[in-house]
Amino acid sequence: QVQLQESGPGLVKPSQTLSLTCTVSGDSISSGGFYWTWIRQHPEKGLEYIGYIYHTGTTYYNPSLKSRATISVDTSENKFSLTLSSVTAADTAMYYCTRDRIGSMAGVWMTWGQGALVTVSS
């Protein structure tokens, strides 16, 4: 059974770069078949799709992030990462990693990490 675990600093200063990693167990990212995805949830607010990476390195990003987001993959470590540059208080959120199967089940998230809370504050 696949499990996802987010990790990274819980506090980031404004204008700096947020970095999170999602470690995957129970499945191999390099086996293909899934998009490895980041989603965030602002405090007391709704959910926002950030983007995904495929094991080949193909990525997609939510245009609302205005090129600040980068998702990368390390297949040797079986993990994928999110960096978000030039953060502001508006980037304070719970960040979740998840996966969805390519094809007709794309965008259906059956497995989620437990989330990593990131606060942007000086």
Q: Residues in the site for other proteins, rule: CB under 8 A?
A: 45-49, 60, 62-63, 96, 105-110, 112-115
Smallest distance, other proteins to C-beta of residue 17, A: 23
| Separation in Å, CA 67 to CA 43, 60, 112 | 23, 11, 24
Smallest distance, other proteins to C-beta of residue 70, A: 17
Distance of alpha carbon 76 from alpha carbon 71, whole angstroms = 16
| Separation in Å, CA 45 to CA 18, 26, 93 | 20, 31, 9
| Contact between residue 100 and residue 83 where contact means Cβ atoms under 8 Å apart | no
Q: For residues 57 and 107, which CB has a smaller minimum distance to other proteins in the complex?
A: 107
Q: For residues 48 and 78, which CB has a smaller minimum distance to other proteins in the complex?
A: 48
Smallest distance, other proteins to C-beta of residue 109, A: 6
Q: For residues 1 and 76, which CB has a smaller minimum distance to other proteins in the complex?
A: 1
